[in-house]
Amino acid sequence: MTRSSAIGADNEVVISPLPRVLDPHRLPNHIAIIMDGNGRWANERRLPRAMGHSAGVDALKRTLRLCSDWGINVLTVYAFSTENWSRPREEVNFLMSLFERVLKKELQSLNLKKVRIDFLGDLDQLPSRLQDLINEATEVTAKNNGICFNVCTNYGGRRELVLAAQRLALKAVEGDLDPNLIDENIFASELLTANSGDPDLLIRTSGERRLSNFLLWQLAYSEIHVTDIYWPDFDVKDLTSALLDYQSRTRRFGGVEPMPPNDI
C-alpha cells in the first residue's frame, strides 16, 4: 500500500492515481497554497460567509489527499493570517471553532494516512482548547512518514522574520553566535519552515495576485500559479492544471537556460 489513501466503502483503500498528463518525475516537492475566496464563494450563493469556510474545509481535505496520493512531500496551507484578526468577531470565532471541530474529527484519519501535521504561526494567541488540540495532533502524528502538512495559523511572514531576527540577536548577545557568521542557511534554520524547506510551487485561488504576508522569505524562488477558482471549488482538475503549469516552467534561479549542444 502506498503511504496515503482514502477509505472508501467497506473500508476499501482508494488511491487516486496521478493524472497521465503529469510527469511523475517533475512534481514539486513542496506545494504552498493561499486558500482564498471562501467568502465570495458563499456570497455568490447568497449564503453566510461561514458556509464558505466550511466548504473550504472539504476542498482542503480533497487537496491534502490528492497531494499525498500523488507523492508530494510537503503541503503548506494558509489557514489564518495575523491580519485576519481584523475580521468581524463572529467570523473569527467561527473560524476558531471550525479549526477545533475539524481537527478533532479528522485527527484519527490523518494519523491513519500517516500524515505529519504541524501548525506554523503564533499559536499561543489561539484559544486554549485549540492550542491543546494542536499540541495533541502534532505529537500524535510527529513520527508519521507520510506527507508533511503545515497549517499556517495566526501566521504572518513579517512576524516570522522578526522573531527569527530576535532569536539570532539573543544568541549573539549571549555569546553563542558570532553575528558575522549569520548566513542564509542559519537564518532559514530559525524560520518556522526550518524542517520543510522552500515551496517549489505557490497556488493562490480566487484570482488575487498578492502574497498577503505569506512565507515572504520562503517564496523567493517559487513558481506562482494564480487561478480564478474560489477555494471551495478547487478540485482535482484545478490541482492538475496548477501542476501542469508548474511543469511548463523553466526554473532558472537567476542562471541561464541550458542550450542544446549545437546552439552554444
Q: Which residues are catalytic?
A: 36, 84
Please name the amino acid found at residue 240.
T
Closest-by-Cβ residue to ligand IPE is 39
Measured from the CB of residue 189, what is the shortest distance to ligand IPE in angstroms?
Answer: 25
Contact set for Mg ion, span 27-46 (CB under 5 A): 36
160 lies in the binding site for Mg ion (CB under 5 A): no
d(CA 196, CA 127): 26
Q: Which does 79 bind (CB under 5 to 8 A by kind): Mg ion, ligand IPE, none?
A: ligand IPE
Q: Which is nearer to ligand IPE, 22 or 92 (CB)?
A: 92
Q: Which does 238 bind (CB under 5 to 8 A by kind): ligand IPE, Mg ion, none?
A: none
Measured from the CB of residue 35, what is the shortest distance to ligand IPE in angstroms?
Answer: 5
Q: Which is nearer to Mg ion, 36 or 160 (CB)?
A: 36
Closest-by-Cβ residue to Mg ion is 36
Q: Which is nearer to ligand IPE, 96 or 163 (CB)?
A: 96
Q: Which is nearer to ligand IPE, 78 or 234 (CB)?
A: 78
Measured from the CB of residue 251, what is the shortest distance to Mg ion in angstroms?
Answer: 28
Q: Which is nearer to Mg ion, 41 or 70 (CB)?
A: 41
Q: What is the 3-state secondary structure (H, E, C) of the chain?
A: CCCCCEECHHHCEECCCCCCCCCHHHCCCEEEEECCCHHHHHHHCCCCHHHHHHHHHHHHHHHHHHHHHCCCCEEEEEEEECCHHHCCHHHHHHHHHHHHHHHHHHHHHHHHCCCEEEEECCHHHCCHHHHHHHHHHHHHHCCCCCCEEEEEEEECHHHHHHHHHHHHHHHHHCCCCCHHHCCHHHHHCCCCCCCCCCCCEEEECCCCCCCCCCCCCCCCCCEEEECCCCHHHCCHHHHHHHHHHHHCCCCCCCCCCCCCHHHC
Measured from the CB of residue 210, what is the shortest distance to ligand IPE in angstroms?
Answer: 6
Q: Which does 84 bind (CB under 5 to 8 A by kind): ligand IPE, Mg ion, none?
A: ligand IPE
By CB under 6 A, name the binding residues for ligand IPE.
Answer: 34-40, 78-81, 84, 95, 206, 208, 210, 212
- Which residues are near Mg ion by CB under 5 A? 36
